[in-house]
């Protein structure tokens, strides 16, 4: 964790990063307090920022992208934007978050979903592209406390 604290722009108190996570330009990745990043996640901070709030759970092999290409560009030009993730967001297994997306507080992104647009607070989305499933209760009181050995 000492290496990550030196490499990433910010690692909040109580944040845990499991093995196999990759960071492309960690200087643009800001992790809030008590985040849990499960194994195999990819954080693309090549040109734009990734910011997470507190108590964010990101499932195994999830991908957060900030940069891609404009398919309409005759020069194959870059296209991207910051990704902002609010407090108590849960991003499930193998979800993909595309550049320029904001995920509101308390939102849930279903497993395997591809998020192409902003997600409203306390909303559950799923699918490819991710679509509204239902609202999540805003009555959330938990704080994440990752315990790797689950005693």
Question: Rounded to 5 degrees, what are φ and ψ at 102?
Answer: -115, 130
DSSP for residue 49: -
Strand spans (E) along the chain: 10-11, 16-17, 22-24, 29-31, 36-37, 42-44, 50-52, 57-58, 63-64, 67-69, 78-80, 83-85, 90-91, 96-97, 102-103, 108-109, 114-115, 123-126, 131-135
Burial of 151 (0-12, 13-18, 19+ CB in 10 A): exposed
Q: Is 141 a catalytic residue?
A: no
Give me the catalytic one of 69, 79, 131, 134.
69
d(CA 149, CA 86): 27
**Residue written as tokens 């991710």?**
130
Residues belonging to the active site: 69
């Amino acid at each position: 964790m000492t290496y990550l604290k030196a490499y990433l722009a910010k690692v909040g108190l109580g944040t845990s990063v499991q093995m196999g996570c990759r960071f492309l330009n960690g200087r643009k990745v800001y992790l809030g307090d008590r985040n849990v990043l499960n194994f195999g996640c990819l954080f693309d901070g090549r040109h734009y920022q990734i910011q997470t709030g507190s108590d964010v759970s990101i499932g195994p092999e999830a991908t957060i992208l900030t940069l891609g290409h404009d398919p309409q560009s005759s020069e194959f030009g870059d296209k991207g934007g910051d990704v902002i993730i609010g407090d108590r967001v849960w991003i499930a297994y193998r979800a993909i978050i595309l550049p320029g997306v904001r995920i509101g507080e308390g939102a849930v992104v279903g497993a395997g979903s591809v998020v192409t647009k902003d997600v409203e607070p306390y909303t559950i989305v799923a699918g490819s592209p991710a679509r509204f499933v239902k609202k999540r209760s805003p009555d959330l009181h938990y704080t994440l406390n990752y315990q790797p050995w689950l005693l």
